[in-house]
A and B are shown apart, each in its own frame.
Chain A
Amino acid sequence: MLTGSVLRRFAFAAALTFIAALAFIVQPVAAQVPFGEATTAKEGLEIGTSTNEIAIASDFRGADLTIFGALTNADELLLAIGQYDVVVTLEGPLDYATVRKKSRVLGIWVNTESMTFEQVPASYSVAATRQIDDILSSEGGLPIGTDHMRLSPTGYVGNAGNLTEFREAYRRLKLAGGLYQHDFGGVRFVSSSLFRASLRLPANVPDGVHMVRAYLFKSGTLLAERELPLRVNKTGIEQQITDAAHNQPIAYGILCVMIALVTGWGASLMFRKK
């Protein structure tokens, strides 16, 4: 009985050793990773959009872009108590932007001061699971959201007060013009780890390559970041005209003059016959 038991134990141990040895040979890489790591692996984020190209027709009045995403390796408990936050942004093509300020000179309002910011997005929409200031509370200095985005002036800046003033004016004007938007609450979890974000494309959205960026936060700490390019192409006759005006300006100018000549001449012919 005893020997039998010892023997069985030995056989079991031998079999285990054999299996372990076999696993070592077959999957040497996997064996190097310690067990247990899988359950505490870093949380990740995957996103997808229904399209990577948006064609804007002539009658475009703005649209909503829906972005789906999934959290990977998320802790069920932390998810349940809402410790994960997602921020999704849609950033338009970068360009310089100049802010000007008027003041009264000899009774007339004149642009007297200006500040140019380098490489700022022409349009910017942000959606988040909640107020971005609440999400970012512990993580200072992340350039996410209209209030925190990087606005670096070019050239010499007189005093710091001026800089704050011009930055505020820039944000205010862009938000008022609809090119910058935020929707706190625009990201919703549709299941425990799947979320859906909707971002607004304004009617005057610039064409070019836009960037969809998604950020995953856990208790205010940035864990993961994903980005996807999104091409915005304006189609239709309007865009063809804009393209012609910029790509073949001479031919475009000649066409404008020809239309004028024909219109003027045609009208004088038409009305003479009557």
Chain B
Amino acid sequence: MAEAPEQIPGERSARGAGTDSSMGRPPLSIAESVGKGRTLRGDAWRRLRKNRLAVAGLVWVAIMVLLAVSADLWVPRYLGDPVDIDTTQAASQSLQPPSWDHLLGTDRMSRDIASRIIYGARASLLVGAVAVGIMLVIGLVMGAVAAYYGGIWDSIIMRAADIFLAFPYVLFAIVLVGVMGGGSPTNVFLAIGLLGWPGIARIFRGSVLAVRENEYVDAARAMGASTPRILFRHIMPNAIAPLVVYATMSIGVAILAEAALSFLGMGVQPPAPSWGGMLSEARGYLFTAPWLMVYPGIGILTTVLAFVLLGDGLRDALDVRKKE
């Protein structure tokens, strides 16, 4: 367990697999490719654009973000409110199949499914962003401390990372939220964030270790730059590529985890819509109202897929994995 490679939470590591067997080696530093005249960012962007699947992923993520952010402006007016119900009308509007009035049909409580899916996207993306944000903050601090102070700190933090990685991801997320009390968004953010930090910490620690001994860092230190300044001005830029790839993938994983938690009734609190929660409601209607099950599932699948494709594309574009 001691030296597992960088691992996306919930994803299986290809331990021992030839190309991936970095086995404790830091991921290849981007520093080596700098200085070829063209900018790194420009290079990466060009490569990303050539990858059609990654572009599709990027476009889909952009659409989802746009829908989620703009929802309040138009969704309640044109599609219907995702939460409010008129109980005198509800019975007659319940479980309508897709039609021009309700593009994706209505649920049992007579609410418009398209509207709920868009608001569900908001919940999913929010969880993805916030959880990965928490993951990044904890992971960066831990990784920096481990690499920069080394010694006992390094051992403690890396052992802690091992412990967290030893837990099966989904199982522990469910247990953690179960213990903290389901139904609170903060707990869902925290649980997913808490479980993801070791990966970030390892990547960042590796990057710091790889760059720390470089002359320009010594130079900066000699010129009296403070530790945080060195970290952020000199080390961060070199660590950014693997972190971006990892974080992109992690958003997908976090969205899946949130969907699972909501499906189990431990995630987003009703009546607020969430994709996992909608699927849980749909379980009783697999035959009588299958549209209830289809669309939220497609929502999760496509959004996670978009992040996975984008992450794959970024990995290739940013040249995070070495090509020998």
The answer to whether A binds B is no
